[in-house]
Structure 1
Amino acid sequence: MPGLGALFFLTALIYGAAGFGGGSTYNALLVLAGTDYRAVPVIALSCNILVTAISSWRFARRGHVEWRRIAPVLVLSIPFAWLGGRLAIAETAFVGILAASLLASGLLMLWQPHWREEAPRRAFSKWLEPVAGAALGFLAGLVGIGGGIFLAPLLYMLRWGPPKAIAGTCAVFILANSISGLAGQLAKGSGRTAGEALAAHWPLFPAVLAGGLIGSTLASGRLDPKYVRILTALLILYVAVRLSIRFYGEMIGNGG
């Protein structure tokens, strides 16, 4: 547990500095550590809430959160996060979806710094943000990620605003979806399993709280978000490869 706690601290620090919660990597680390996959989203989403609650407050305090503009993204993401959390899936499917999500998000994060962030806002359909929010919210609830690692590239494509505004928006988005997704996970009827998992993994929560505090402090200050995103992407891709290898092994084992 001390080793896992150190990894969670590092993850929270890096993700918090980018305005994210770290749920995707928490999930991967828990799966690789042999945690019951049914409890993995509950632990990851709880950690997400701790980290992004801090980030959201710090970004909002510094004026990097525009609440009225966030509303269209949240309007469908919150109920769909709850629906995703309610859906029960097999362990192999869970690991496969998580691995694919990590690979896609890591590649998008590496691509993201090359986009022209200072360009004028693009004109897209008014339904794009609610529909995208619904899809990302459902994924957030299903596998226990906040969805911010997918939302950030979309906001850059939309020329949403400066990097810190996008980071603040993602922090609020992840916080809302993590709370809703956690409620859906707990509504499955596996409250005892979830409670036992949370109790057994309690040292992870102060670890991510400390990491999130440090990371969000760096992010809301003068830290260049470009380099934070690159570091985050490399971390995501590393755990994605590890998880993909495990998924491949499970598929071969089931086939045999």
Structure 2
Amino acid sequence: MGRESGRGRGATLTPDLIIEAALRLSDADGDLDKLTVRRLAAELGVGAMTLYSYFRSRDEILDGMADRVLGRMSLPAGPATDPAQAIREVGHGFLRMMRDHPTVVRLLATRITDSRTALAGAMEGPLQRLVDAGIPGPVAVRCYGFLITYAIGFASYQVPRPWGHSGEGSDADEQRRQRSHVYSALPLDRFPRLVELSDELVALPSDAQFEFGLEAFVASVVRSL
């Protein structure tokens, strides 16, 4: 339609451009409810009715966002060498996808997609990697189910807790110090364990905690195989 994008002057409006803008807005806000057709149209520099010529409803835009993120889930090139490596790669792939686009956590928790693009990227690909590594199909399905729900839960827990995010430096260290103080300053008679373990508790939303759970699952599956 030749309209200009609010983020890309001279760019012709397309469904892909609309979805990219929707993901950018919702990821930045961290709140999918704030994504309205009117706000998205303003971001793109067009009227709301223009968007309805590409998508019939906000729900269709949300489905497009889910398809875009799920369909582009990435895994390492080449096959995994063993079941443990394949499980780690799929688990890390899910978490990476949700970090790159925090919106997908809410989308997965509230919507179901039968898009072939999404099914190929976020289901067929991970399942094939697990099976190729020597995990029987039925077990691979159970592994898949655990890994995606574990990543959804962990990402949901980590996002609003910045003291657990990766990174060193004064800001990260200060956030951890402040959170540790919240626990250590609690009344000792009522919260003896929180006070005692205040330094360890700040690591609950950390990457190390994700790895702890993932490795426990890897060990369990490898034993069963």
TM-score, normalised relative to structure 2: 0.29
Q: Which has the larger radius of gyration?
A: 2
Structure with greater helix percent = 1
Structure with more contact order per residue of length (Cα contacts < 8 Å, sep ≥ 6): 1
